[in-house]
Amino acid sequence: MSTRLSNTQLAVFALPALVTTLMQGPMTGILPTLYSSQFGIDLAVMGSALLAARVFDAITDPMIGLMSDRTNSRFGRRKPWVGAGAAMAVIAIYFLFVPGEHSSISYFLGFSILLYFAWTVMEIPLAAWVLELSRRSKERTRINSARAIAIFLGGVLFAAAPALVPSSGGQMNFEVLKVLALVIALVVPIATICALIFVPQGTVIEHTETPKLSELWESVKNNQPLRYFIGLYLFIGTMGGITGVISFMYIDDYLKIGDNYTQIFVPAQLVGPLSIPIWAWVMNKYGKYKVVTLGFLAFALILPLPWFVSPGDASIIPMMIYYSALGLIMSMMMIAMPTILGDVIDHDEIQSGKNRAGQYYSILALMTKGTAAFVGPLALAALGFLGYQPGSEVNSDTAVTSLRVIYAFLPPLVLLPGVYLLWKFPITDKIQRKNRALLEERSDVDAQAVPAE
């Protein structure tokens, strides 16, 4: 069976994604740079703290996925987890965004661990919830498109924040983060409660056996599409781990245009949501697998371009165009990848007779976060080892060149193998249509077998 959400339900379901973007935006690169610069924390030490936080985050994913799959409550499988995660996230965000005058690395580490755990509790069940709202690929694309638009709109608000806070001087700093913390504390509870009340639980085939964690790795071995998808996410995680922790540093510290943060990033955030309806149409017409493969290839070819941009005000427009081009392709990835994962989970359910959406999302999150957990902090540690320190006026030529090479050339090199995996992906749109028909037929048979009360 498939559910089509009304436009109102779709908007309400997507709303938490908008607010979550305000929380996640500063975590990868901005907060580490600000803490390092303001509190004199060495980049190598900061990298070690991030590594510890992300490793803890990664190892909790399978546990939350399994517990979410096994939850049986009057509110459904996923909703209790989403509510609990949102509550914890608000607390962690406030203390991270509004640090005391003498905050230390242990302060940063403690609340980072709490925040990453809160996101795990919230996001893995939420991702599985999407799949249970509908089995139809087009409806999943519609739902993921709405969430992607919300994420981009959240990105617009985040990028515009320095311009909306007069005391910030146009820069992304702790003055801006304090305002964001107060907005998050007000809006997150409202957005989450509305989604939990007004969006249905979705449909789960109840005849399937209860998933067991011990069987998960066996299913990975027997599910070729999942192995391809895991490999892809390892490459994505590596790319994201590098770019995430260095982007703000590169803009603010190397190019010296941090006070133009809003001007640089707002266009990129506007391009994304405007292009999503077009991408959805293109994928439905030409097939999401071919479209996303070409998109990843284009993304990899664009990534090295900052190498050719010199520091100073003349870099503002080139970097604005650069991030807008990446944002255009990111909008396609954001709606395609969750939909493809839904195809992989359907493939497993046909083979195993079990609904393991939560576990599958958790294992992919484990791979992605585990990769980013090591790669991002290691990139920071490497820069620290090579003598680079944010805010310093005496960084050596070697240190500056290292920053440029790591930012411009490593990400595309690790993304290219993912393009190959997508090109050879075992599932096609035609195969997925057959899988969906088989699952719906199985669901109808089981429904007829249930005795009337």
pLDDT for 451 equals: 47
pLDDT value at 339 more than 60: yes
Average of per-residue pLDDT across 114-138: 81
Could you count the other beta carbons within 10 Å of the beta carbon of residue 40?
9
Give dist(CA 8, CA 372) in Å, integer: 35
- Which of 52-61, 322-331, 390-399 is predicted least confidently? 52-61
pLDDT of 360 > 70? The answer is: yes
* pLDDT tens track for 66-115: 787 777 777 777 888 888 999 999 999 999 999 988 788 889 899 989 99
Query: Which is more confident, 389 or 365?
Result: 389
Which residue has better confidence, 98 or 134?
98
- For residue 312, what pLDDT is reported? 93
pTM of the model: 0.65
Output the pLDDT for position 274.
82
Segment of 14-23, 173-182, 429-438, 443-452 carrying the highest mean pLDDT: 173-182
| pLDDT, mean over the chain | 82
Q: Is the pLDDT of residue 170 over 80?
A: no
Check whether 208 has a pLDDT greater than 60: no
Share of the chain above pLDDT 90, in %: 16
Instruction: Count, in order, helices (H) and strands (E) of the chain.
Output: 16, 0
What per-residue confidence (pLDDT) applies to 322? 95
230, 235, 236, 242: CA torsion to nearest 10: 140
Tokens at residue 293, please?
A: 């493969």
pLDDT one-digit tens code per residue, 75-84: 777 888 888 9
Q: What is the pLDDT of residue 317?
A: 95
Higher pLDDT, 206 or 364: 364
DSSP string, 113-170: HHHHHHHHHHHHHHHHHHHHH---HHHHHHHHHHHHHHHHHHHHHHHHHHHH-GGGTT
